[in-house]
A and B are shown apart, each in its own frame.
Chain A
Amino acid sequence: MTTTQTRPAARRAMTANDGFGAQLRAEWTKWRSVRTTKWCAFLAVALMVLFSMLWALGSSTNANEAGSQRVDLFRFTHQPLAGDGEIVAHLLSQENTGPLAKAGVLIKASTEPGSPYAAMLVTPGHGARFQANWSTDIAGTPGPAPRWLKLTRTGGSVVGAESADGVTWREVGRADLDGLPPTVEAGLFSTSPSTGMRTIRHGGNTSTAPEYRLSVATFDSVALTPATPAPAGAWTSEDIGQTITQVDDTEVHGSGTQSGGTFTLAGVGDIANLGFSGDNDIVRDSLGGILIGLIPIVCLGVLFMTSEYAKGTIRTTFTASPRRVRVLAAKAVVLAGTTFVIGLVAALICLFGSRPLQRERGFRAPAYPDPSLADGPVLRAVIGAGLFLAALALLSLGVGAILRRAAGALTLVMAMVVLPGVLGGLMPLSLEAWLGRLTPLAGMAIMQTRDRFDYVVAPWTGLAIIGGYALVALTIAAWRIRRRDV
């Protein structure tokens, strides 16, 4: 190992000129003095901002208007109740299809969806509740079924009460219902909101829709006073509201049966004010232009290495600093730092620049409040945009250093980035989810700011995945660069 033995003077000269700081400066000088770099940096920001604006223009929502929309879908076993009176029932059991499944007694102006109502009900997750007209919601005792439930109508007002034994009653709430006709419908109901989103795929056709499961509730000791004389006084059971269709085109129909004194009801839907149901991730959407903005960044990363090979300056570089891995490290630091800043600047412009356009198209408070950098996930998304581009640039640099040719390296990186997304759509769903988790584009998860059913990777995990790719590429590059001739 004679090569490592340098004379003291030479060693001093080396430490002066060949320190990592000097190396960084050399690479920074190369970075900023090449015209292509400036073009790539400008294009990355410009394309990202341009597409973000376009996409803000092309997106709209009525989430705020829909906030007043009411869901009125349930299974109803009822009979008319003329004038004042009450309905009592003992809810024996309720199938737990979700914390917000509802079953109980109901007084409703008519079987028409949207007509005034008052309900004394039990939910598996939130105990007994008295609810009326989509606005009143008063909590009773916690805990699931069984429970005795009672509604008493006096003129325009309805009182809800619950009991553990059917003897001692506890009033839960009272509501005044405007426009309640003299004869109303009173009875039992059961309903269950969507249990989540379900996606199915036949070949290349994918569809997603909410998934519904019938919730079965059983009652006994049902009493309506005063009893309506038959035939009008017989129990009628029917689905209220439009029929629910699952994603596989099957319709969900409720059922209501009576045997002896036991009533069994199975229903889906909800009686609820959905509130502001907007579930779009507007921060991520406003950063979506990064998909196009990444092209110049990949070019930049690849060219930062391959153009040295193409122009032959790599020989000069390696003569000036024979520690090749250190050259690669310096390049990596300069590239990561600059692309991080590019991503950060572009993300800030996109986020706040597209905000007025989004607001005009319905994405405004209360459903979509303005994003703020003081909010953790938003800050993570903005910084994450920079980190994502930096990791992608490092991956490109590594592949460029391994292949030494711009065309091959660029194609390989682009194929790694785009192909899984395209191929995923043709694969079975489970395979697609794995492709989404294991490819460099998983890094885009860092820009997610809320939970959505179609997200397959957590933010930091996604960033770790693309970081892993970059690390592997750079490690192989470091090994190859040491071993081979330039």
Chain B
Amino acid sequence: MTRTLRAEWTKWRTLRANPWLLFGALAGTIALGVTVAWALPLPTCEPAATCREDTVRLALSGVYLGQIAVILLATLAVTNEYATRMVQTTLAASPKRLAVYTARATVVTVLTLVAGAIGVLGALALSRPVLVGHGFPPLSLADGPTVRAAVGTTLYFGLLALFCVGVGTAVRHTPAALGVMFGALYLVPMLAQFLTNQVWQKWVIKLAPMTAGLAIQATERLHGMPIGPWPGLGVFALYAVGAFVLGAVLFAVRDA
């Protein structure tokens, strides 16, 4: 297993684009988060804390940009091997397929978790002075909901990597896998605007992977949300683990 892990790690780090994608994930998360915090209108309440503005969620909204790099990174880690037929070499060298699959998922997920954690902490740290400048109460990691949002968003990144590895392995085709991921994450929630039935609209927000998963970022007005923070991340985890298991099964039983 260690050797398989090392092989996957070597393959990963020797592709020139990969470190850049990882950097893109954390840089996108930080840059957009700070921009959104900066673009936030000044508080209209006095004192500003009574606005109950969800500044944590806004500071962490860079995920919407940063995760694009994660999608690319985690999907390409799988589908590139099919495009270049490298997968046959890989399996000839290490015939234990589940070990290969797990090792690959581990490398991608751990790296994404690290980049995600840096991105999340960076976004919070850099948004803090911006928000304080606007007159909002400072973000603090001593605050329970803030910690939940930070930890949850990092977990979201890791789960997303698993999700992409699973989908990529099941589909084995770069454009198809990327299409599935973009559609599932971004486009399904956008469809909600075409629904006039409030009940259905709520269900879309509850069940669409991205809206459910990122419910973990909410720190204010939790009662008004269609789905709570942890249940939301749970729904996302179900998608991720489901895709991961599907990928494992298909990788194990299918001809490469």
Contact = CB atoms under 8 A, between A and B. Distances in A.
A441 to B, nearest CB: 9
Given A203-B40, A422-B64, A58 B197 contact: yes
A93 B16 CA distance: 76
A407 B178 contact: yes
Interface in B29-62: 32, 36, 39-41, 44, 51, 53-55, 57-58, 61
Interface residues of A, number: 41
A285 B65 contact: no
Nearest to B45: A202
Interface in B169-190: 174-176, 178-180, 182-183, 186-188, 190
A386 B175 CA distance: 22
Nearest to A307: B175
Q: Which residue of A288, A295, A406 has the most chain B CB atoms within 10 A of its CB atom?
A: A295
A476 B101 CA distance: 40
A227 interface: no
Interface string B192-213: 0111110011000000000000
A343 to B, nearest CB: 16
A212 B168 CA distance: 53
A406 B177 CA distance: 11
B40 A295 contact: no
B76 interface: yes
A431 interface: yes
Contact of A427 (B36, B71, B190): B36
A419 B64 contact: yes
Nearest to A415: B68
Nearest to A248: B44
A59 B194 contact: yes
B201 to A, nearest CB: 8
A431 B182 CA distance: 24
A26 interface: no
A426 B61 contact: yes
Interface string B153-177: 0000000000000000000001110
A430 to B, nearest CB: 10
A299 B191 contact: no
A58 to B, nearest CB: 4
Interface in A365-409: 406-407
Nearest to B196: A59
B221 interface: yes
B39 A410 contact: no
Contacts, number: 111
A421 interface: yes
A411 B178 contact: yes
A60 B196 contact: yes
Chain B interface bracket (under 10, 10 to 19, 20 to 34, 35 or more): 35 or more
B83 interface: yes
Contact of B186 (A203, A285, A303, A418): A418
A55 B195 contact: yes
A264 to B, nearest CB: 31
A51 interface: yes
B39 A427 contact: yes
Contacts of B65: 419, 423
B191 A51 contact: yes
A202 B76 CA distance: 38
23 contacts: A55-B191, A59-B197, A60-B197, A202-B41, A203-B55, A203-B58, A205-B54, A284-B194, A285-B196, A288-B191, A291-B187, A292-B183, A295-B182, A299-B179, A407-B178, A410-B174, A411-B71, A411-B178, A415-B68, A421-B186, A426-B39, A427-B39, A428-B40
Q: Which 3 A-B pairs have the closest CB atoms?
A: A288-B194, A58-B200, A418-B186
Interface of A: 51, 55, 58-61, 201-205, 280, 284-285, 288-289, 291-292, 294-296, 298-299, 302-303, 310, 406-407, 410-411, 414-415, 418-419, 421-423, 426-428, 431
Interface of B: 32, 36, 39-41, 44, 51, 53-55, 57-58, 61, 64-65, 68, 71-72, 75-76, 79, 83, 174-176, 178-180, 182-183, 186-188, 190-191, 193-197, 200-201, 221
